[in-house]
A and B are shown apart, each in its own frame.
Chain A
Amino acid sequence: MLNIAGREFASRLFIGTGKFAHPELLKNVAQASGSQMATMALKRLHISTENTAAANNDDILTPLKQLNIHLLPNTSGAANAKEAIYAAELAREALQTNWVKLEIHPDPRYLMPDGNETFIAAKKLCELGFVVLPYVHADPVLCKKLEEVGCAAVMPLGAPIGSNRGLLTEDFLRIIIEQANIPVVVDAGIGAPSHAAYAMELGADAVLVNSAIAVSAKPVAMAKAFAQAVEAGRCAYEAGLAEVGMQAQASSPLTEFLQQLNEVE
């Protein structure tokens, strides 16, 4: 079972909560997906009840609280480490969780994650006792460095966020997965269940999907499709269908034979 920072997840599909047509639909999707982790932007949360008129209109928190789903606040909107750290602290107070999906994008057009600022914020948040899941480029070196400062998982992107283009970063994701000692969650760009299945076949520990479900004509049916794809992909990976990695296998059928030859000589 997937384990992140000591918490077990029966489903390897994480969902996003933005872009949905109404909160009830989000709730139905969350149920149908079987997901046990949903990320939500701090900027969308009506933290205090100071303006109930506003909260009445677009409350995404209440429907999710009715489900058995782990809420993963994210720092979307933060443009640097300082803002992200502050957002994480606010979210911790509001949702009573020390988990945070760290998102820092100073580029509001393509929402590209800022590696430098993400590293600085991740280090600080880990020191402050947060369970940090940083959203990053599929940058193997950055992912190792984030692991070293104590991140609970890394969330490299498959393609530009919201693009539905699949695993354009496949070669780099393979390296990240191969090198990681913490879970790798492929985030952003997954536009079809086949993309999700493929990420799982590569050995990703989980995937996060939002747009492809939320914007689908039938979000609940699509959520189910993603759940099945993630499960199928994971089964295939565990059954050994994954392609050969970049390094030679430690024990190929020839290994033992070659060792025997050496011993004879």
Chain B
Amino acid sequence: MLVFNADQVADLADELSGESATSSSQIQQVLLAAKQVNGLSIKQFSQLLSPAAESFLPQMAQLSQHITQQRFGKNIQLYIPLYLSNWCNNICSYCGFSANIKQRRTMLDMAQIKLEAQAILAKGYQHILLVTGEMPKLAGVDYLTQVVKFLRPLFKHISLEVQPMSVAEYQHLKAVGVDAVLVYQETYHAQTYAQYHLKGKKADYQHRLETADRIAQAGIDKIGLGALLGLYNWRFDAIMLASHLSYLQKHYWRSRYSISFPRLRPCLGDIPQQNLVSEKQLLQLILAFRLFNPQVELSLSTRESAAFRDMLLPLGITTMSAESSTQPGGYAQANQAQLNQFDIDDNRNTQQITQVISQLGYQTVMQDWHASFSR
């Protein structure tokens, strides 16, 4: 069973701004180590998250850019989410799909999915992320199998962001064509997790935590991890996320990993105000993560504003979504606005994003995988 020493991490997070706060000279030492491009220890990573490190953001940014370009080149991979269903059994107080929210629920049928796929293909996408709320009785393995089998010949890379499953279920989905599975822990702080995830399977912290192990054991090529920043002390969650990644890389060396940094956005649910993360802090976190792990994919969604995304793009990010609709059926029938999981902020279309990426000196990559890999 995967158990983190959360107390130790809490101490580490507290240390950063407490009485024995990280000093400038310590940050300089860490940056010197980061220049070797061998990654950093969890302790060093945590120091880069400290208030003291804020004044080193320009140096961190320069280093992060250099390390990212060396590994990933001047390329940005684009993907697009396809929301299949907003039915959900869970009650999570921050989410627009939460079961207690009265709203129109829908699950796309194959005819609707075909229309969505056509609309997405016309925009040029080859990497697609399938998203559902968590209602396995409806949008379960059988439904997802049918969807993936249909989409597999049309797209080069298929990711899932759905309810956690068993090893056997993941093995089955891998065989029919799933390349990646994303499961965010939301917060790694167990007590806080319990406060937000009130009902449904998602209320089981440990089951969700061990999902990445099951994905890896099933041999799925890529695993997406993340914490929903804003639920709890972001420094704590960032250190836990980094520890989770290190644990997984050590145990499942064949898996590829991707890290996302979703920040809490206004949605239909309750909006907690404490623990909110500023743009500057998110920047600090992304830079620190790149220095911590030079090889991991770092992904940024359209939750963030256009201006902020443009600024972040050359500083460590490798993967972005664009022109996203977070409601089922949102691409083929773009006029209903009431079903969103959360509101997006960067509303530019794919062509505009591609132009910006090019102006920043990067190549948009639409395709970097083949369906025959990892089957």
A residues in contact (CB < 8 Å) with B: 18-23, 41-44, 46, 51, 53-58, 77-79, 83, 86-87, 90, 106-110, 162-164, 211, 214-215
Contact = CB atoms under 8 A, between A and B. Distances in A.
Given A43-B369, A109-B295, 7 more contacts: A19-B69, A51-B126, A57-B354, A57-B364, A83-B374, A90-B372, A211-B73
Interface residues of B, number: 41
A109 B362 CA distance: 22
B372 to A, nearest CB: 5
B373 A56 contact: no
B126 A109 contact: no
Nearest to B367: A54
Nearest to A45: B367
B74 A44 contact: no
A159 to B, nearest CB: 12
B152 interface: no
A215 B123 contact: no
Nearest to B72: A19
A56 B73 contact: no
B332 interface: no
B75 interface: yes
Contacts of B121: 51, 53-54
Given A44-B365, A58-B363, A83-B374, A53 B122 contact: yes
B266 interface: no
Interface of B: 37, 69-75, 121-126, 156, 221-222, 249, 253-257, 295-296, 354, 358, 361-370, 372-375
A18 B70 contact: no
A215 B69 contact: yes
A63 to B, nearest CB: 12
Contact of B370 (A55, A77, A215): A77
A6 B27 CA distance: 56
A54 B366 CA distance: 6
Contacts of A20: 73-75, 363
A55 B365 CA distance: 10
A87 B364 CA distance: 23
B75 A110 contact: no
B70 A211 contact: yes
Given A51-B124, A87-B372, A21 B367 contact: no
A55 B156 CA distance: 13
Contacts of A56: 124
**Of listed A51, A86, A106, residue having the most chain B CB within 10 A:** A51
B134 to A, nearest CB: 28
Contacts of B361: 21
15 contacts: A19-B69, A21-B362, A21-B363, A53-B124, A54-B121, A54-B367, A58-B365, A77-B370, A83-B373, A83-B375, A87-B372, A107-B254, A108-B221, A109-B253, A109-B256
Nearest to A110: B295
Contact of A58 (B255, B296, B367): B367
Given A107-B253, A214-B74, A43 B295 contact: no
A43 B363 CA distance: 16
A23 B257 CA distance: 28
Contacts of A110: 295
B253 A162 contact: no
Contact of A57 (B124, B249, B375): B124
A58 B366 contact: yes
A20 to B, nearest CB: 6
Contact of B73 (A18, A86, A109): A18
A77 B369 contact: yes
Nearest to A215: B69
B364 A215 contact: no
A162 to B, nearest CB: 5
A54 B126 contact: yes
B135 to A, nearest CB: 32
Contact of B70 (A41, A46, A164): A164
B74 A215 contact: yes
Contacts of A18: 73, 75
Contact of B372 (A23, A54, A86, A164): A86
A57 B366 contact: yes
A19 B358 CA distance: 13
B61 to A, nearest CB: 17
A19 B73 contact: yes
A43 B368 contact: yes
Nearest to B153: A50
A164 B70 CA distance: 8
Contacts of A83: 372-375
Contacts of B375: 83
Q: Nearest 6 A-B pairs (CB), nearest first?
A: A19-B73, A53-B124, A108-B256, A21-B74, A54-B366, A54-B124
B107 to A, nearest CB: 26
A118 to B, nearest CB: 16
